[in-house]
Amino acid sequence: MRVNSLKSGVCIWGIIGLLLVLSCAKQKTDEPMVAKIGDRTITVQDFRARIELTVRPDLPAQNDLDYKKTLLNNLLIEKMFALEAGKDTEILKRETFRLHIQGIKEQTMRERLFYTQAFDKTDPDTNEIKNRYLLSTREYRVQFYSIHRDELAEKIRDEFSSNSESLHDFFTELAAGEKIPEHEVKWKDPDPIPLHEALFSKPLSQDTIIGPIKIEDDNWLLMKIVDWKTVPQFGQESVQRWLDVEEKLHMNKAQAEWGNYVSAVMKGKTIEFNKDTFNQLGEMFLTILRAKEPEEKKEIAKDFLTVEEKDLDLDNLDNKEELLDKPFFTIDGKVWTVRDFRRELMLHPLVYRKMDLSGDGFAKQFRNAVIDMVRDHYLTKEAYKKRLDKDPQVLKTEEMWQDSFVAMDFRNKLLDKARAEVKTDSVGRTLAMNKYFEDYIAGLQQKYSKSVRLDQTELEKIPLTRVNMFVYKEKVPFPIAVPTFPFITNKPELGYGNILQ
């Protein structure tokens, strides 16, 4: 798990660590419910995720329970707004919106696929955990070289793979006359999995040469163990370390299993790009990324990214309509046109492994991003085959995002209506609009009162921090963990519905 906490209150989680605590983890069928309205439920997990994983409003509260009630009130009103908007609301008719929600749903399906095909199938035994625990008490001092060319690193690896002495001599020759960078490495450091596994999966002696280890594309490490020491754990620290070792070992094994599963799904599938089309699109996407102002980016991208049938409005592109029907790439016997690619982008925006805006460098990153998108396209197919689109947590995530967007759209329309109907001078206009809005909410709470169920006992038990965080998943097309918290009311009163004591 990788966590970086910044002074601003922003918290950034790595994708796998986040999956352990968010909705894609194993879902208990008997998970306690805090509230229910109609066919919508807010579980303890839902409540905590919506509050802890995004920036929440600064709400006045006399005590901890009032604070929780105010937060729950906002989430309930969000559900009421979504129910009021109904299934025929305009936003649900927009294809771009429907594809956006479908993309979030399919990303959740792939995350669940990871659990069913990898995490749930790898369960480290006690002996494995014990050995890793002992190794986790080691701290290494290493010398290292970074290699930034895949071809060179692979050549070194292949040449010395069967001769450790020659690799040692090679490392010594590299070091001749130079000061070699050194680094202290501890088990708890947020290092990439390949590096962590290289150092903490088996005992390493002084002067051992490790690598080259691939960290990511064009980034390899060749290391030498200079020295190491043991830092034993005691008491509660030791108990927590055991649990952390078990979690990390499980996840690392699951990642390896997942890699094998993905390889099996993609076996025999080779992507072949149409060179001319690739270059055209690559140049356009590079232009988008180089555009400094958000509005400029929007202007460049708007006509390409829309799914409506209309010409590309880009000055640097000729034969705009023809471009949409050009072949972009071929895979598994199917030709993907630019039009196919454009639609897929709505379901899966490109994710770049690294940002390189140089001409040649970006071409490689653009190619990799398209390849990753196509890989996920096939993984999504596997998820559908396994009926993960019907998985309760997938449906819950889809509902959460759709209700959030629909509710905010409804709120905005309600505010527009208030502006149009409130006829008063500028001095009293704000007060009048606030009263209009509050009266409407009060009427809505009364309307849905009989269909609301509240469990105040569960609400009281929920532990909450008062630290604002913004959490996102790394290297996925839809990185935001949960929707923006709906700030609709600052009132804690839950004087409606049936309260279960």
pLDDT for 355 equals 87
Provide the residue ranges of all domains of the chain, joining segments of one domain with +. Answer: 3-118+390-500, 126-266, 272-304+312-371
Mean pLDDT of 135-141: 95
pLDDT for 498 equals 65
pLDDT for 317 equals 52
470 phi, psi to nearest 5 deg:
-130, 115
- pLDDT at residue 302 tops 80: no
pLDDT for 161 equals 74
Mean pLDDT of 269-285: 94
- pLDDT at residue 333 tops 50: yes
- pLDDT at residue 108 tops 70: yes
- pLDDT at residue 6 tops 60: no
Mean pLDDT of 366-374: 96
Mean pLDDT of 133-147: 92
pLDDT for 169 equals 81
31 touches 421 (CB < 8 A): no
pLDDT for 164 equals 73
Mean pLDDT of 304-313: 44
Q: What's the rounded Cα separation, in Å, for the pair 26 and 13? A: 19
Residue 359 confidence class, pLDDT cut points 50, 70, 90: confident
> E strands within 14-137?
33-37, 40-43
pLDDT for 18 equals 40
Of 209 and 311, the one with more pLDDT: 209
pLDDT for 140 equals 95
**H/E segment holding residue 172:** helix 164-175
For residue 70 the two structure tokens come to: 């105010």
Mean pLDDT of 154-173: 80
pLDDT for 109 equals 97
Query: Using omega within 30 degrees of 0 as the cis cutoff, is the peptide bond preceding 212 cis?
Result: yes
Selected from 3.30.420.40, 3.90.420.10, 1.20.1250.20, 3.10.50.40, the CATH number assigned to the domain covering 126-266 reads 3.10.50.40
pLDDT for 479 equals 93
Lowest mean pLDDT among 113-127, 144-158, 235-249: 144-158
pLDDT for 30 equals 66
- pLDDT at residue 11 tops 60: no
Mean pLDDT of all residues in the chain? 85
- pLDDT at residue 105 tops 80: yes
Lowest mean pLDDT among 108-117, 175-184, 243-252, 266-275: 175-184
pLDDT for 307 equals 47
Of 474 and 388, the one with more pLDDT: 388
pLDDT for 499 equals 62
- pLDDT at residue 8 tops 70: no
Mean pLDDT of 301-318: 48
pLDDT for 57 equals 80
Q: Among 466, 473, 400, 394, which Cα is nearest to 52's?
A: 466
Mean pLDDT of 194-216: 92
Residue 414 CB contacts under 8 Å (≥ 6 apart), including other chains: 81, 437, 440
Lowest mean pLDDT among 227-236, 289-298, 327-336, 351-360: 289-298
Mean pLDDT of 40-63: 87
Q: What's the rounded Cα separation, in Å, for the pair 106 and 379? A: 9
Of 460 and 422, the one with more pLDDT: 460
- pLDDT at residue 345 tops 60: yes
- pLDDT at residue 320 tops 90: no
Residue 139 CB neighbours (<10 A):
16
How many residues would you count in the chain? 501
Mean pLDDT of 374-401: 97
**Could you give the C-alpha distances from 23 to 5, 30, 83, 88, 429, in angstroms and in order?**
21, 14, 23, 28, 42
19 touches 25 (CB < 8 A): yes
Residue 377 CB neighbours (<10 A):
15
Residue 205 confidence class, pLDDT cut points 50, 70, 90: very high
Of 298 and 213, the one with more pLDDT: 213
Q: What's the rounded Cα separation, in Å, for the pair 15 and 3? A: 10
pLDDT by residue (tens digit) across 117-128?
999 999 999 999
